[in-house]
Amino acid sequence: MPPKNSAAWLPAKCVQPLEVGPARYTPPGAKEIVVKNGAVAINPVDWAKQLLGDALLSYIRYPCILGGDIAGEVVEVGVDVQRFEVGDRVLGHAMSTAPASNNPTEGGFQQYTIIREYFAAAIPDWISYEQACVLPLTLSTAAYGLFHEDFLALDPPFVPAPSLTANSKAIIITGGASSVGSNAVQLAASAGYQVYSTASPKNFSYVKKLGATRVFDYHSSSLVEDMVAELQGRTLAGAYAIGNGSVEACSQVLRRCNGNSKKFIALAGFPLPAQMFTTYVGTAFFFVSTMWWMGSTAVMSYFTGVTTKFIDGKDLCKEDNVVSRLVYRDFLPLALASRQFVPAPEPLVVGRGLDKIQEALNIQQKGVSAQKVVVLL
């Protein structure tokens, strides 16, 4: 007899709060595992989808189960699964909101989630479920922008990391204390790049511990001048932009740096504040601003020679994707076991149980610094 499952459902567009109720337990298909979730984490897309309804991810069918970050114990494995057995502790990127899935069985906000084998990694005993679950979705986003051939196309990460030399290429990663930034800094450092990041001064030491060579105050009026001065003579592999104003700052720096530098910016997320999602007026402004911004990047490229591309993850679900191959299979298990790569940022646990997920969404919407909101199950 299958286990009883339950979920925090989004039953229809713009419904608040999420409705906790029964969910079907689904056995795994080929190259899939079922994970009994010990902890789940919250990402901005979760509350944004709840507030914006069909204005965001309009292909999603209701009722749906959101949630892209899980960690827990494998309870069942499908055919052709090679890397996991029942009882293994894993983290996984839950894919319910991906266009190639659109399936609530793959949502994270439930007791039992279907995870694709190639988007899971074993976690060592020193990492708790609440620590592990901060990684998957933002790790995938960071890796996609850094390593995908359509974006920065960096060299892959290794264990141990290549030694830095005076000739090592540099990369700009803004927002180093953010969830995506915390992963991007570690991945780029493990790939042998000198990482130049930005953060609030209170988070400088945190970002440096993750592997950044130098961290700049993103509030500083002299940010661009300071970065240009520091990067003179270095060859840049491009920039990974996170946060408001990051594209403009990165563009100015890249335009003024070494002629051999790559004039390309991978952008994670639209540069709009969270408050814009909270009203219908804000929703309309979100779309007007987004359309203007997407068009303006082409103009920016024409006049500055710097290309900006939004990280869309359009082929992320493919089994042989660069993210699944380079990160989840080849790098992450060894990197976690050796503590070269650490779960970051720190989990902010708001409670236990599916009924706490709505509260967690609300907290994340208000904003956190160098933390990721987590619920234990």
Q: What's the rounded Cα separation, in Å, for the pair 324 and 303? A: 36
Q: What's the rounded Cα separation, in Å, for the pair 14 and 336? A: 38
The pLDDT-based confidence of 28 (bands split at 50, 70, 90) is: very high
Q: What's the rounded Cα separation, in Å, for the pair 240 and 69? A: 22
Q: Both 123 and 165 in a single domain? A: no
Asked whether residue 302 carries a pLDDT value surpassing 90, the answer given is no
Q: Residue 86 is part of a domain; what is its CATH number?
A: 3.90.180.10
Tens digit of pLDDT for each residue in 78-104? 999 999 999 999 999 999 999 989 999
Give the domain range for residue 369: 5-135+343-376
- Does residue 367 belong to any structural domain of this protein? yes
The SS3 call for residue 288 is helix
Residue 69 phi, psi (nearest 5): -120, 120
Asked whether residue 49 carries a pLDDT value surpassing 80, the answer given is yes
- Does residue 325 belong to any structural domain of this protein? no
Q: Both 83 and 131 in a single domain? A: yes
Q: Both 186 and 113 in a single domain? A: no
Per-state percent for the chain, helix, strand, coil, to nearest 5: 35, 25, 40
Q: Both 196 and 223 in a single domain? A: yes
Q: Both 296 and 177 in a single domain? A: yes
Q: Both 122 and 246 in a single domain? A: no
> Are 265 and 239 contacting, i.e. CB atoms less than 8 angstroms apart?
yes
- Does residue 198 belong to any structural domain of this protein? yes
Q: Residue 236 is part of a domain; what is its CATH number?
A: 3.40.50.720
Tens digit of pLDDT for each residue in 125-141? 999 999 999 999 999 99
The pTM score is: 0.92
Q: Both 210 and 237 in a single domain? A: yes
Neighbours of 94 (CB within 10 A): 30
Q: Check residue 260 and give its pLDDT.
A: 85
Work out how many domains the chain is built from and give that number. 2
Task: List the structure tokens of 71.
Answer: 């960690």
Which run of H or of E encompasses 179? helix 179-190
Q: Both 162 and 256 in a single domain? A: yes
> Are 123 and 89 contacting, i.e. CB atoms less than 8 angstroms apart?
yes
